[in-house]
Structure 1
Amino acid sequence: MTQFWVLGYAHQFPALVKWTDNLRIIDTVADVGLLSPEQAETLQSAYLTLRDHYHQLTLSGVKLASQTDVLNEIRQQVSALWQSCLGDKRTSENKE
């Protein structure tokens, strides 16, 4: 999602290219009004939780994350934000 915002909106919001890390890009996306502060916090929290989880898996030699209630909740939150922010905005009448 961060790459999409940088590539899709940097021409309109040059501040989006200032940082290369996801957390500060998400801050900037919220600062320019493409996300609400609450949405940005949700994405940052999800990113940090998943990153920590996958780092722990890497250190323990495990290749794949198991399904947990916490990870499923995070996935649902991020999927909802994806649909809200980046999903298909066409009306159902125009979809083919």
Structure 2
Amino acid sequence: MSVAVAATPAAADWRYCLARGPARTVYLSAPFPTVAAMPTLDAAFGRMLDRTQRPHDPVQCPRADDAASLRAMRLTALRYNRQDGETVVELDWTPDRDAAKR
């Protein structure tokens, strides 16, 4: 007896990336779905910040299971940082758009 196993695509996480910059600045990406590993995303966002001459601390890319949860998380991060006196710079960056520019 043989058993056929259908390959199912990996479920995408929803993420956005952020990093602190100098002078109380925080950079935030747009939200995006991805199956990429977190180190890959961290590195890609960091390279974009480097390429655009934005000094930064280590990158973080928080995840959620769905778009609505991620948007809520991102909005909380925006509000928190602004209330804390940070300048929040929203960047229209996603890994797909970044790859398309190369």
TM above 0.5, one fold? Answer: no
Larger % of strand: which? 2
Could you tell me the TM-score, scaled by structure 1's length?
0.25
TM-score norm. by structure 2 comes to: 0.24
Higher helix share: 1
